[in-house]
Amino acid sequence: MDFIFECEVNMKCSSCDRQAIITRKQAGVSLCSEHFIDYFERTVYETIASTRMIEEHDRIAVAVSGGKDSTALLFSLHKILKGRDVKMVAITVDEGIRGYRDDTIRAARDIAGKLNVEHHIVSFREEYGYSLDQMVIGKNVAPCTFCGVFRKHALNRAAKRLGADEVATGHNLDDEAQTVMMNYLKGDYERLMRFRPSRIQKGLVPRIKPLRAMPEKEIALYCMVNGIFAESRECPYADLSLRADVRDMMNALESQFPGTKQSTVLGFEEIAKRERGMWTQMDLEECRVCGEPCVNGRCKACELLEQLGAVALPG
Ligand code: SF4
């Protein structure tokens, strides 16, 4: 837990006389635990308010995997939205990853119970007939590709069933910077532009990312100071993805040149702003198999399921 003291011992908080627990190098401030929590929740609040992510009377489905990001998300939203006419419900997607998911599901159940938030679990096995482990046996594919497609599909369906107005996910600044960089590296301009959807699409519950300005390390620290940190193992498939290499590269750059992750995201935001209007978003259709939104008559999840031999396509 060395990053709890990512500042010199005996360093005072910039706002009071207490011991600082973190120095935010870019901002040039050191913060004690109390002022760090203030800063964290204020930033999350400002992220929500700046794009009006959440409105009064909304019902928010919070995607809670049980890892630190989604735990911090549920905890901070619960605090920030206290007293507002906003209802929260937690959804955990159980992909079926042996030796990894069981612990995080327990952690998700614990944090939802502690905060008295209604909690639902949807599993790949029940939704699609296969766990992720079964889906990837003997296949020369990156498990994250299957996982990402089915997770989005399952989450959207569950959010609709629960009448949610939006799905909040725990994506943080590191995730955002990695996604931008991965799309640059793949030269995938269209996907890059789709990363910031410009309008609401029928059948697709809007996604919000209240933690998108928060670095991963600060999220871990927020969990620690609030006593909600659940140590979890890394997904056994994580190292097989391009994201893992990009993550390592971005971490190395960030430690050598602080602010790299933020400038990667801000640079992309600037491009997206200039391109707005020049790039029209495609109208989504209903998948002819499952009814979920898609681009070419059949969604990616049903396409993959067909490959797995589970879906007989009509006509
Ligand atoms: Fe899914 Fe890949 Fe994340 Fe594991 S690392 S949970 S397989 S997306």
Q: CB–CB of 12/18 below 8 Å?
A: yes
Instruction: Please tell me the predicted confidence (pLDDT) of residue 312.
Output: 46
- Identify the bridge partners of residue 279 per DSSP, sorted by sequence position: 276
- pLDDT the model gives residue 310: 55
Residue-level pLDDT at 2: 41
Q: Which residues contact 15 (CB under 8 A, 6 or more apart)?
A: 29, 31, 32, 35
CA distances for 228 relative to 3, 225, 252, angstroms: 16, 8, 28
10-residue stretch averages of pLDDT, the chain, 315 residues long: 60 94 90 96 96 94 96 98 96 94 92 97 95 88 90 97 97 96 88 71 93 95 92 84 93 93 94 77 88 92 85 44
The pLDDT score that the predictor gives to residue 198 is 60
Q: Identify any residues that bridge with 122 across adjacent strands, giving them in sequence order.
A: 93
Residue 229 beta carbon below 6 angstroms from any ligand 1 atom: no
CA angle 120, 124, 128 (to 5 degrees): 120
CB within 8 Å of 183: residues ≥ 6 apart: 189, 191, 192, 195
Nearest CA, atom 7, ligand 1: 144
Residue 286's DSSP bridge partners are 293
Q: Is 93 in the pocket of ligand 1 (CB under 6 A)?
A: no
Look at residue 6 in the predicted model and tell me its pLDDT.
Answer: 67
Burial-class residue 262 by CB neighbours within 10 Å (0-12, 13-18, 19+).
middle
The verdict on the CB of residue 215 being under 6 Å from ligand 1 is no
The pLDDT of residue 199 is 67
Which of 100, 131, 134, 235 has most ligand 1 atoms within 8 Å of CB, for mutation?
A: 235
